[in-house]
Amino acid sequence: MTEVEGKQRVCVTGAGGYLASWVIKFLLSKGYMVHGTVRDPGDMKNAHLTKLENASENLQLFKADLLDYEGLCAATDGCTGVFHVACPVPARSNVPNPEVELIEPAVTGTRNVLNACTKAKVKRVVVVSSIGAVVFNRSWPKDRPMDEECWSETELCKAVQEYYCLGKTVAESEALEYAKSSEFSIITVCPSIIIGPLLQPTMNASSLFLLTLLKGGIESLENKARPVVDVRDVAEALLLAYEKPEAKGRYICTSYVIRMQDLVNKLKSLYPNYNYPKSFTAIEEDVKMSSEKLQNLGWKYRPLDETIVDAVKRYEESGFLSKDQDYGTSHLLWPRKVSNQL
């Protein structure tokens, strides 16, 4: 990555999170001055940020959450760009109050960020969405890879109780609509299941996708196809979307589609001593998704084996594989199969 000319000041929401931590690491390495929003700057779970290269000079943490408009205004003040990464991701399927826990932070939170950006007179905003805002579409032709024209149906998201995807769909569509009357440009990026090494000391929802397969305790698993992407490749995609003047609209960000049995076999070949699922149930389901638009912008992604090896090394170093905590298996089921008939 090349350094930026001069010292641009940018803001990253949800700074202590999995993806945002890598975004900040890359921004700092390129010479950006970074404002990061966190709920509690003094919390030890954010301490890894202060240890990043150039953090002591160029990183400032602000106390703010997505429903704190004034806090967001303080964090974005003086910034030329914003990376809106923060959004609650459920680590379980049964969220007691999805409106409060998932939808309001996604939708109202994004509105607050964009309004703060208007007040700060920023030049560009990159909003992290999700393939959850893409895949729940019953009318999309099965033989055509899903691309940026494909949107999840909000009524379908409600019907199958995928409230995270509902929140992401509404928030992203509102952001792109906001861009039509805004003085700054808004780019949205829709990553698939994000895996790879962690910088933060706590386990996050998407990393459970790999960790649970390694930790064992699963007898049988549906052999579903899953789109995955390396966390570092997503972070680089966000910087690309911010820095490339020609970047416009929406971008799907995914690298590989792999069936669960193939993923387990790959893990077994690399790490034979873990306790893997014993059997797999055949599923007539395929996932076709295209990141061609993002690749045309110059995006590249790393080999899947590199992602897995770097992720597992970090799990082992952090003790996640030796901890007794039961994380459940609901994250292995996402996104659920969407049939043409409900």
Distance CA 339, CA 342 (A): 6
Model pLDDT, residue 88: 81
- Distances from the Cα of 239 to the Cα of 59, 107, 188, 189, 201, angstroms: 17, 23, 12, 11, 24
Q: State the burial class of residue 233 (Cβ atoms within 10 Å of its Cβ: 0-12, 13-18, 19+).
A: buried
Chain mean pLDDT for the chain: 91
| Domains of the chain: residue spans and CATH | 9-202+227-256+287-303 (3.40.50.720)
Would you state the torsion angle of the CA atoms of residues 205, 209, 213, 219, taken in this order, to the nearest 10 degrees?
90
Given a cut of 70, whether residue 342 has pLDDT beyond it is no
pLDDT tens, position by position, 17-52:
999 999 999 999 999 999 999 999 999 999 999 999
Q: Residues 6 or more apart from 185 whose CB is under 8 A from it? A: 123, 124, 125, 179, 247, 248
Helix (H) / strand (E) element for 75: namely helix 69-76
| Terminal Cα distance for the chain, rounded | 46
The pLDDT value recorded for residue 7 is: 74
Residues taking part in catalysis: 168
Residue 103: the pLDDT is 92
| Kind plus residue range of the DSSP H or E element containing 240 | helix 231-243
Say what the pLDDT of residue 217 is.
77
| Centroid of chain to Cα 337 | 20
pLDDT tens digits, residue range 198-236? 999 999 999 999 999 998 778 999 999 999 999 999 999
The two structure tokens encoding residue 35: 């404002």
Tell me which H or E stretch contains 11. Answer: strand 9-12
**Model confidence at 339, in pLDDT bands (50, 70, 90)?**
very low
**282 burial level (CB within 10 Å; 0-12, 13-18, 19+):** exposed
The pTM of this model reads: 0.93
Query: What percentage of the chain reaches a pLDDT higher than 70?
Result: 91
pLDDT at position 216: 75
pLDDT band at residue 340 under the 50/70/90 scheme: very low
Tens of pLDDT along 95-154? 788 888 899 999 999 999 999 999 999 999 999 999 999 999 999 999 999 999 999 999
DSSP state of 249: S
Q: Compare 159 and 217 and report the one with higher pLDDT.
A: 159
Say which residue, 89 or 283, is predicted with more confidence: 283
